[in-house]
Amino acid sequence: MNELLPKLSTVPEGIHSPSDYLPYAKERLPPEIWRYLEEGSANNVSLQANPHAFDSIHLTPRPLSDVRSGHTKITLFGQTLAHPVILAPLAYQQLYHPHGESASAMAASAQEGQSCVSSLASQTLEDIISAAGQPLWFQLYWQENRERTLKLLQRTIAAGYNAIIFTVDAPVKQATIQLPTTIQPINLDLPAPFPALLPQQSQVFNGWMAQAPRWEDLAWLRDQTSLPLLVKGILHSEDAEKVINLGCDGLVVSNHGGRVLDGTPASLACLPPIVSAISGRGKVLFDSGIRNGRDIYKALALGADAVMVGRPYIWGLATAGALGVAHIIRLLRDELELTMALTGTASIQEITQEKIQISRNQNRN
């Protein structure tokens, strides 16, 4: 399907922010692929809430500040990154460009950042990390049982991935795109035949949820690797505390970009109580709704250690491959640096809640 897409070797003119890529990406992708990328679940309430939550937070300019030594460097799990922008795990990236996940990983590396590869990648784990030229992070979905999950985890470790993000908020399979025969979750074994259900049994409770991970499975997974382990899809402070108490190294505050349970609060609204509950005992990453550098600043001010960006970098990938992704990352970093400079902030560590103003009508869990 994507073989028919025109290839651009340069970034289009007139690109000044990540959102400028959006019409180019939409023009290049078939309608069904565009809908798969951009739509959320049900009525799109949570999808729309994510970016809107940032509007309730205001920035305070602090002119005349000396920020000549400013920078955006951070350290995560022993790795120094030039900026706090991490590419979120998105599935089947060859839907958007023939070079797929390899192009995204290569761009993240070129921009001195980090990328997290999805369990549902359309290229092999080994090829992706080879293209990146550096260790990457891996996003792990539960594979029906512990045996299958451990097999995938061990392959990931052998390939050189150096952090695991365990996604827990999407155990129920929902309608999705019909993949072309040339694009498949190439790193996964074929699923086992689904057990037959009795007429009185529930497809959800007796079917999907019977194979979904539980807290004891997270404790087991923690024992299987010494790599940094984060749990993605946490929105409640009590769940965040459980994650840390089980020995995990952190979590990702995320409502899955509004793609799973519609009606959840915006991820940003859930960030402060979770940061408070964790109280520095683990890293807190933020995901869902980042569209520009000002959004990154606001998430960091509310306590996130770094952010994960999803759809915007796919706009760049669809438009100009690795070059487009690299440009998206650079634009986000430039916007973050500009926001920092105009608010008198010289480092990521100086981005605190005192730097922002929160409207009283912001919803929180």
DSSP class of residue 5? S
d(CA 226, CA 20): 41
Cβ contacts of 134 within 8 Å, gap of 6 or more: 109
Helices 100-110 & 311-342, crossing angle to 10 degrees? 20
What single-letter amino acid sits at 139?
A: Q
Tokens of 165: 């993000």
Can you count the helices (H) and strands (E) in the chain?
11, 12
Judge contact between 108 and 115, C-beta under 8 A: yes
Residue of 77, 92, 46 lying closest to 165 (CA atoms): 77
Of all helices (H) and strands (E), which one includes residue 357?
Answer: strand 356-358
Tokens of 193: 């035949």
3-state secondary structure 93-160: HHHCCCCHHHHHHHHHHHCCCEEEECCCCCCCHHHHHHHHCCCCEEEECCCCCHHHHHHHHHHHHHHC
Residue of 48, 30, 37 lying closest to 255 (CA atoms): 48
236 flagged as catalytic: no
Q: Which of 83, 97, 99, 256 is catalytic?
A: 256
DSSP, residue by residue, 7-50: P-SSPPTT--SGGGGHHHHHHHS-HHHHHHHH--STT-HHHHHH
- Residue found under tokens 């959004």: 295
Helix (H, G, I), strand (E, B) or coil at 257: helix
Helices 146-159 & 215-224, crossing angle to 10 degrees? 30
What single-letter amino acid sits at 236?
A: H
Residues with active-site annotation: 256
